[in-house]
Structures are given as structure tokens and as C-alpha cells.
Amino acid sequence: MSASRESPDSELVFRLPRRTLRIAGIAFGAGLLLFAIVWLAGRGDDGFYQPEASVEGNKPVVEALPEPLPARGGASGLEEPSQAGNERPQLVEQAPMPAPLEEVPAPAAPTAPDAPAAAPAAGVALAPGDQPVPIAGQTPPPDYPAAALRRGDAGTVMVRVQVGADGVPTDVSIEARSGSRDLDRAALDAVRRWRFNPAQRDGQPVASSVVVPIDFNLQQ
């Protein structure tokens, strides 16, 4: 008796309430109705694009291309120059070019003998020896520098002067200094203005040098 008795928990049955099934059916039917309304409204839309029918009567007229030019003429339409059938090229004889003249070198100018030494200026006598001699009256004394006077500078400057064959100094330099730069500079400036009897050799004036003393004395 106990084996044939079925347990109440051996079979489970899931049942929904009738009210829930009714609500689900109503919602499904409303969805189908709404879809049908939207689909029908879309088919009747006037804004949907429709291709326009082309009218055959309004086709553009295409003109035919002109016929090509005949092959006898040039492509540009210009007339070609006429050519004589029997003309042949002819050789034109030209006179031969004259041979170039050979350049004859010009004869060299005869070399002049060594020019003698420059003669002294007019009225200037030669020195008696191989050293130039200052010309009296053409040896202006130097200017005593004012700065040297204020300091009381004095002394003798030995100036070596190079004299040309014309008796004019070409270079002056200090042979022995006085101890005052102002006095040395004044002595050089003075000797540059001197004139000399140029030295001689075999009766001809030659360039030479001589040392001359320039004294600066405050008692003068």
C-alpha cells in the first residue's frame, strides 16, 4: 500500500494565473495593430523619392563632327612650297682664303747706356768729398718745443741724414738721442728742411749720408 502511493512532490506543474495570460494577449495584439498602422502609413508617404520619367522629345541634339581635310594638303592648311623635279644641288666654287701673314717681330729698341747720376740743382756746388755738406743759409734752426722749455729740457741730438744726388734729404734718423722725445722730434723735422751740397765721385754727384749735430740750449 505504501509503495503504490505517489508522493505529492514527484511532479511539479507551473501554471500562470489567467489574468496574466489575458494581459499578455492584449499586449501582443496591440503591438501587431501598431505595426500594421505604421506600415500602411509608410506606403502612402508622398515624400518618398520616385524617379522622373524621361521625355524622349527633349533629348539634346548632337551636331556631327566636320569631315577631315584631304591628305593632299598639309595638316595646318598651308600650301606646301613647290619643288622642281629636275633641280639638283650645284657646287659653288669659292676663291681660296689667303694665307695668313706671318707677324714679323718689331726690332727691339736699342738699349740706352746707363744714364749718368742726376745732376745737382742749378747753382748747387758739389761737396769736396764723399759726404754731403750743409749749405749755409739753407739750414733753418729747429723750433724749441714749448713742453721741453717748460720742463727745462736741453741737449744735443745727433741726426743721420741721407742726401740724394740733388742735395735734398731723402731720409733722416736718430743717431744719438738727447734724452727728450720732444727735442728728438724737433731735430728730425728741422733737418728734413735742410739743403746740402751733394757728395761727389769722379766729378759726378752721388747719394751719401752724413751725421749732423742739433743743439738745444736754454741759454740761447
List Cβ neighbours of 171 (8 Å cut-off, separation of 6 or more).
161, 162
**In the chain, which ranges are E strands?**
133-134, 155-163, 169-176, 196-197, 199-201, 204-206, 208-216
Q: Which three cell numbers stand for residue 27?
A: 499586449
**Contact (Cβ atoms closer than 8 angstroms) between residue 188 and residue 174:** yes
Residue 131 to residue 196: CA distance in whole angstroms: 10
Whether 47 has a pLDDT exceeding 60, the answer reads no
Residue 132 to residue 212: CA distance in whole angstroms: 10
Q: Which residue has the higher pLDDT, 15 or 126?
A: 126
pTM: predicted TM-score of the whole model, two decimal places? 0.45
99-121 residue pLDDT tens: 655 665 565 555 544 444 455 55
Q: What's the mean pLDDT in 21-46?
A: 80
